[in-house]
């Protein structure tokens, strides 16, 4: 059983056919990289899995999107339960203008958890998982806005992990960060993959090659090729993939 699966998914923004008949399976506890030029649909595809496309009024979706074989677009699958299971990290670090502690605790609080000891534990564990604990343990009550961009992004990862999802979606999580912070996030992804299913959109070929087990190449709303990262980067089946990863277009 695949952790995540799409069966013949089409997505339209008004008249714009943004995803064309995408069928793909993503296994549990792997890192899958989605690559392709801007506007190819890879971020749109990523947002299918936590239904963030629902926020765009003109978006229309056809086909099946499954989490552990359950259709997540069915009425009986509550959206807040889905989003507890499928966390997300965004392109620009977007911590709330609250304290570091409150940022991580937020997801627990909105999901109805009030036990202070449990929240304390989750905050500490999540910050440790996001390799941020040592840097912030003495200033949990300080504003998250005081952290550097890289620290803020790791805080956002901790915030996503706090509600114990099994899937983490990452939408170009390092594109706004400097090389050192990028390196830290990549190390973190490496650590997380034993326990989480990670899907990451990236513009950075080296990043895809470094962190992922499997890579999917999107172009103009179509899934061109999907295979082991090694295969994609050494002997891709399609010339188009070859051209893209060697930088001949994109």
Q: Is 19 in the site for another protein (CB under 8 A)?
A: no
- Closest contact distance (angstroms) between CB of 94 and another protein is 4
Minimum Å gap between C-beta 170 and another protein is 12
**Can you tell me which of 77, 96, 125, 164 binds another protein, judged by CB under 8 A?**
96
H or E element in which residue 193 lies: none
- The structure tokens 């050494």 sit at 234
Is 122 a binding residue for another protein by CB under 8 A? The answer is no
Shortest CA distance to 214 belongs to which of 203, 225, 249?
Answer: 225
Residue closer to another protein by CB (options 97, 179) is: 97
125 binds another protein (CB under 8 A): no
Tell me how long the chain is.
250
Please enumerate in sequence order all residues whose Cβ is within 8 A of that of 201, keeping only pairs 6 or more positions apart, or say none. 33, 34, 35, 42, 43, 46, 170, 171, 172
Q: How far, CA to CA in Å, does 250 sit from each of 205, 221, 240, 241? A: 11, 14, 10, 10
Q: Which tokens hold the place of 189?
A: 């992804």
Residue with tokens 């699958």: 77
Pattern of binders to another protein over 184-223, x per CB under 8 A?
----------------------------------------
Under rule CB under 8 A, residue 231 binds another protein: no
Count of residues of this chain found to bind another protein when the rule CB under 8 A is applied: 30
Binding residues (CB under 8 A) for another protein: these are: 50, 52, 55, 57, 79-81, 83-84, 87-88, 90, 92, 94-98, 106-107, 109-111, 143, 145-146, 156, 159-160, 163
């Amino acid at each position: 059983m695949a952790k995540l699966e799409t069966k013949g998914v089409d997505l339209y923004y008004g008249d714009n056919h943004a995803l064309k008949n995408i069928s793909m399976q993503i296994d549990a506890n792997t890192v899958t990289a989605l690559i392709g030029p801007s506007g190819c649909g890879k971020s749109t595809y990523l947002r299918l899995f936590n239904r963030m496309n629902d926020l765009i009024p003109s978006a229309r979706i056809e086909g099946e999107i499954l989490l552990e074989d359950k259709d997540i677009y069915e009425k009986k699958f509550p959206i807040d339960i889905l989003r507890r299971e499928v966390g997300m990290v965004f392109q620009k670090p977007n911590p709330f203008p609250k304290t570091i502690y409150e940022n991580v605790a937020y997801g627990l609080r909105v999901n109805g958890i009030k036990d202070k000891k449990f929240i304390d534990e989750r905050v500490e564990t999540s910050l440790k998982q996001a390799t941020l604990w040592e840097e912030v343990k003495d200033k949990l009550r300080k504003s998250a806005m005081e952290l550097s961009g890289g620290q803020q992004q790791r805080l956002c990862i901790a915030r996503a992990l706090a509600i114990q999802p099994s899937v983490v979606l990452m939408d170009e999580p390092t594109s706004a960060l400097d090389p050192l912070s990028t390196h830290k996030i990549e190390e973190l992804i490496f650590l997380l993959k034993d326990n989480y299913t990670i899907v990451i959109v990236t513009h950075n070929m080296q990043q895809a090659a470094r962190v992922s087990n499997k890579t999917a190449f999107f172009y103009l709303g179509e899934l061109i090729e999907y295979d082991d990262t090694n295969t994609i980067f050494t002997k891709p089946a399609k010339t188009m993939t070859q051209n893209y990863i060697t930088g001949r277009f994109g």
